[in-house]
Amino acid sequence: MTTSSTSPRPDSLRPGARERGGLLVEGVTLTLGDGDATVTALDDVHLDVASGEFVAIVGPSGSGKSSLLAVAGALTTPDTGRVLLDGVDISRASAREKARHRRDRIGFVFQSGNLIPALTALDQLRFALDVAGRRAGDGHDPRELLDRVGMGHRAGHRPHQLSGGERQRVGIARALVTRPAVLLVDEPTAALDRARSDDIVTLLAHETHESGVATIMVTHDHEVLGHCDRVLSMVDGRLSE
């Protein structure tokens, strides 16, 4: 039944990465729905992503990609299995503890950025720090990070004043500003053209390697996979190389 697997650990890509932690998904199963409408979204999934590694997961709609992100991101609790974040099992944590893990150790990049309409680009990053209970300057410099993703000149602009690509850049910066251990990226190029898609994934790869975050990107876009360290495929809740 189980066909999930992990690729060989890419220690050659990120020397010492394993020591800095990362994400380990062990034998995770997740069923959705009730009664006759039960669907197995994740079927005994194993996944190991080292710090500084950029892993892409591809697969058709409904294959379980986003469910994997939800489990890895402490948004939902798996039926069986464990999710270890830097060695800490977060899969059985309470809702309050999961929220704490999310704000302290997990960064999300959503489709279309999903920025807060009322906030400027710079405030999006400051808000993420506020949610995490951290201050700018305490090793977290929102302005410097905006500059790094090429959005420093748009710091005072709100989401509706930004293009799709710009929104995604801000979204990436927002996810990284709290310096998470894991970055979970949900269809980042869904609303972008080819050139912009390439820019965004290049940026994600660069930031993953620069900041040493363990990144999982779920995507339909096969054109951008060349930037990833590993590509895994998901079909009917099963993960394979």
Residues 92, 82: Cα–Cα separation, whole Å: 8
Site string for another protein, 12-41 (x = CB under 8 A): --------------------x--------x
CB 14 within 8 A of CB 38: no
Q: Determine the 3-state secondary structure of 214 from DSSP.
A: strand
Residue type, 30: L
Q: How far is the CB of 183 from another protein (least distance, A)?
A: 13
Q: Determine the 3-state secondary structure of 29 from DSSP.
A: strand
Select the span of 21-29, 116-124, 201-209, 220-228 touching another protein (CB under 8 A): 116-124
Q: How many residues of this chain bind another protein (CB under 8 A)?
A: 34
Applying CB under 8 A, among 80, 131, 144, 226 the residue interacting with another protein is 131
Q: How far is the CB of 18 from another protein (least distance, A)?
A: 26
Residues 102, 105: Cα–Cα separation, whole Å: 6
Residues 214, 180: Cα–Cα separation, whole Å: 9
Residues lying near another protein in the complex (CB under 8 A) are found at: 32, 41, 66-67, 69-70, 73, 75-76, 96, 99-104, 106, 108, 110-111, 114, 116-119, 123, 126-128, 130-132, 158, 186
